[in-house]
Amino acid sequence: MIVAARALEPGHPWLSSRERARLEVMRPTRAAEFTTGRVLARALVAAATGRAPGDVTIAVRPAGDPRAGMPWTPDAVGGISIAHSGGVVLVAYRPEGDVGVDIEAGIGASSPDGRAQRPARDAVAAYLPAAERPHAGWTSATLATAWVRREAVVKCLGVGLAADPEHLTLAPADARPAVVACGLAPAAELAVVDLDVGGLPGALAVRAETSSLAGAERLGIPSFLPEVVDAGDLVPGADGVGIRLSVPVGV
C-alpha cells in the first residue's frame, strides 16, 4: 500500500513519547515531515494488520543491521519506506517484502525552458551514471525522474545513497523505468515504476524472487503494485491532505 499527504502539524497523538522528544530538536518543517511519515506508516501497517494505529511501533534499523537507518516495524512482516520533498510525504508498506519510494519537488532552480542549470543540477548529473543520461541531454524533469528512481531502488535494497552509483544502472531517464544492471542484487529481482504524486515525480521499487515476477506485466501498472490509499481515509483529522497517486498506463 502506498499513500501520500501534505505535511501534518507536528505532534500527532499517534506518536510515541520518544518520537515527541525528537520533535523538540527539529526545525518546524522537518518536524512536520517526521510526524507525517510516522503517522502514515502507522496507518498503513494498521490497515494491513488490523492493529490500532497508536499501537504500531515505527523505528529505524540500528547500526550494524544490514539495512541500518531504514524504517521498519517489529509489529508486522514486510518493508516500509518513507520519503518527503516540497511539503509532501510519500509512504509505502509492502507486507510481501522490501520496498523503496522517493519523491522530488525540484532539483535546483528551473530555467524558463526547463533545462538544468548550475550548480546543483550539474552535481546531480555528474553523480548519475552516463548510461542514464537521455539522448537529448538532461532537463529538470529527467534529472528528477532519474533521481527518484535511483533513490527508490537503493532504499529498497537497504543501502541508500551510500552505495557506489556505478554499482547500479537504470534505464535512461526518458525511457520506461527498469533496472539494467546492479552489483548489489540480481537485477531480475528488482522492479521500479514511476509515480505521479499530485503532480510531483515519484518512484516505487520492489524486490522479489525472480519466480514471483515471472509473467508480471512490465508495462503500465505491474502486478506487484499495491493498492493506492488516500491519506484522508486513514488518518483522523487529515481531511483534505490526501494526495492521489497515479501510475501511467501503457507507456
Task: State the pLDDT at residue 247.
Answer: 61
Encode pLDDT of 38-88 as tens digits. Answer: 999 999 999 999 999 999 999 999 988 888 899 999 999 999 999 999 899
- The yes-or-no verdict on residue 245 having pLDDT over 90 is no
Encode pLDDT of 30-51 as tens digits. Answer: 999 999 999 999 999 999 999 9
- The yes-or-no verdict on residue 217 having pLDDT over 80 is no
Encode pLDDT of 101-153 as tens digits. Answer: 999 988 864 433 444 443 478 888 999 999 999 999 999 899 999 999 999 99
Task: State the pLDDT at residue 165.
Answer: 85
Please give the full DSSP string across the chain, using - where no structure is assigned. Answer: -EEEEEPPPS--TTS-HHHHHHHTTS-HHHHHHHHHHHHHHHHHHHHHH---GGG---EEPPTTSTTTT-EE-TTSSSEEEEEEETTEEEEEEETTS-EEEEE-S-SSPPPTT-B--TTHHHHHHHHS-GGGS-TT--BHHHHHHHHHHHHHHHHHHT-GGGS-GGGEEE--TTS---EEEESSS-GGGEEEEEEEETTEEEEEEEE--HHHHTT---SSS-TTPPPB--GGGTSTT-TTTEE-EE--S--
Task: State the pLDDT at residue 249.
Answer: 46
Task: State the pLDDT at residue 111.
Answer: 38
- The yes-or-no verdict on residue 183 having pLDDT over 60 is yes
Task: State the pLDDT at residue 164.
Answer: 82
Sketch the domain layout of the chain as residue ranges: 2-246
Task: State the pLDDT at residue 60.
Answer: 93
Encode pLDDT of 141-181 as tens digits. Answer: 999 999 999 999 999 999 877 778 888 999 999 999 999 99
